[in-house]
A and B are shown apart, each in its own frame.
Chain A
Amino acid sequence: MDTTKPLSMKIRKLPPCRAACPADVNVQGYIALIQQGKFKEAVELIRKSMPFPAICGRVCFSPCQDACTRKEIDQPVGVRYLKRLAADIEREQGRIKPEPIPKIHNQKVAIIGAGPAGLSAGYELAKRGYPVTIFERMPEPGGMMRYGIPDYRLQKYVVANEIAYIQDLGVEIKTRVEFGKDVTFDTLQSQGYKAIFLAIGAQLSQKLRIPGEELEGVFHAVEFLRDIALGKSFDLGEKVAVIGGGNSAVDAARTSLKLGAKEVIVLYRRSQKEMPALPYEVEAAEKEGAKFQFLVSPKQIIGESSKVKAVECLRMELGEPDASGRRRPVPIPGSEHLYEVDTVIPAIGQVAETSRLPTILVGEREWAVAADPLTTETKIPGLFSGGDVATGPASVIEAVGAGRRAAESIDRYLNGKDMREGREVEIVETTWVKDMGKITRKPERYVSSHVDIGRWEASFEEADELLARNKETAIFEARRCLGCGPCTECLGNEELCDADKAVVDETLCSGCNLCAVVCPYGAVRKNDAGVAEVDEDLCKGCGICSASCPERAIAMKKFSEAQILANVETALGR
């Protein structure tokens, strides 16, 4: 045992997928429900952790899928596809309309920014019975989910639908209220808000800081995508250069093509391997006709009568790894060359608008708010901050995780509880799979919609027919899940399983070790005293040991043999 760790450190045994999820979504649990065709129940289980099943089913970078044990055998389980399908089925069949949660607390909470972090914090606090008001600057809530991610990846009605669920719970969202102008910390406090969560995101594009950036025909990606979402039209000309290698760059490139640009070239200063953009997005952009140039960096934008004419670039080579672990690009002297273009879209990153915030909030990094990553506390008591504004541009799911942590902190703060107690947990990845060779190969059976892009080229409309609403494929796909972790307490059948566990009657056990032989998970074995012992963290409650024990020394806690027999009698009795 490692004695250096504090004793209070909780240990959680989780399957790799759930361990990888920043928002602690019970992945194995909802996959188990999909296996049984219980799509709505699966969505409800996801909603226990976060309010955006359909959104994350579309745009999440799915660390769960990357962590899946199945990848060692054939391919990982298509977790994101399954989540999306389950959420779509739920929406199509009529979204579950939750009852408003009674407000059992009277301390009001204000949240600034209705993006993924703010919304999920509001969601979590509302579930705990707090009156929550979210203030949003834009005409519609959603943040980057609405104004950052283009329509073809994430449809507006999907975002609206999931936000409506949060509103149904009783969260109030006030739009067109700008923080720093319409409301300030002082006004909020005087209005009786006892805690504030600042989640305004990173809304400014980082500048290239090269000559020519102010020319007509230079649109920065965040603003460009936001204006498109607001319905503004653009004249991009024939040729567009996008600078950057992240998701915004690819979004800008694909959007430009859909707006009618004939040629789109993405210029990235590192190689393809280092690109932060989702690989399938890059693939889709390439199929739609976008060209990618790697190891090039712009030196200046050349204009003619104040309009963009060309972009001059330098070739790069990769040097030593930098702080991010990626190899640093180094310019090759004398390698200047020109790309003639009509539009330049820089998409090299985003920063938070920190200029309007009190300087005490801003940390060493002037583009972000300094907040504790675990508790989201800032230097001002009662003021919490998380999401992109504190971390720099990240993902929806990370923002959701921050929102959840903030909600927990606000709850503790308002009740005068310790901020950290029991929150630092050690996560141990568990998997019963020891011998990969023994597992039958079952390659993925679905064709996910992002690969087959042929039919929705150059269109903003979601190609509904491409939504493989094929439940059966989904269930087959879900069955590929190995169920690595312990019982996930999905409560797929509350009445029966209720997260059942085996218990050993030590006086009956003869130590024959048969239970260890039949247990698929190694959850029960003979201990040093020579009697069987159940590891409750690994037991999934199947009951096979109980049905096999020669001394009948193992019983199930909740669904015992006697219970089964009583049911048999009832059934035969009529």
Chain B
Amino acid sequence: MMRRRLGWTAVAALALALPWIMYPVLATDIVTWGLFAAAFDILLGYTGLLSFGHAAYFGGGAYAAALLAQRAGVAFPVNALAAGALAALMAVPLMGLAIRRRGIYFAMITLAFAEMIFYVTNEWRSLTGGENGVQGVPRHVLGGLNITSAVVYYYAALLLALLGLLVCWRIVRSPFGRVLLAIRENEVRTAMLGYPVNRYKLIAAVLSCAISGFAGGLWVMNHGFVALDAVHWSTSGLVLTMVLLGGIGTRLGPLAGAALVLYLRDFLSTWTDAWGIVTGLIFIGVILVFRRGIVGTLEPLVVRGSRAAPHAGRPATATIREAPEGGTGPVS
């Protein structure tokens, strides 16, 4: 217990010190992407659904928040919340269709729908500015304040992202979250027990997308502009990299992954633009030899004897189902 409290104190201290030890805009990116990654992990880590299309909700939320601020003068936290609501509205039909298929098909369908959103964003120039994106987004704050300081914005975003994270953690630790874990472990058995599996999956997906949209809103206000790359499939790939590297199905994994990936990208950008190669190598390395990720590997070592993580009958952190029943793998 002592160790755990010490750990959380260190994390909190790091979060408060972050804009003083690095470029504050990067610090804010880490916090907002961390929230995005945590929301994404509700589906991947706790429901066993690999969405390859979360860029649509993060990017869609970013566009919504930017346009609301720029065209309607909606003040800061409100536009980010509205972005979350819009992402939820998008998720109801799209995720509703995607959950009709499982596993690999779910991944392909979410990817395809995100590509559709990408094309729509690109074509709808009058609204989204096409390839130019939305630029010069004003950062009005509720109460008529106008924050220009990047450090002040960091603390505002940190507070809101923390609220979002608490919601994510509450979701996965609630009775509802336990049912999601049951679905991840054995969907058929969960259905046999009388749980409306598809409704649970849809609610989990909509919550995940809503928080992703909210994170997108926080992120866009950090930069004041948004362009097509926010809804591109590479954004979906980037959040996936963060969660895999940090540790699927862990509380701090998505944050650690976001911090490491974004810091690395920033650091490398000064001397190489081979970012795709670096991400690719991280990806391949994690998939082949480091499937538990950083937090998934460290947590059992640091917090020995703490209360069990909610994965009965398996090591402290689960990855995607490791070897499910019924023939997967090639002809095995």
Q: Do A and B bind each other?
A: no
Q: Hey, which bits of chain B sit against chain A, CB under 8 A? A: none
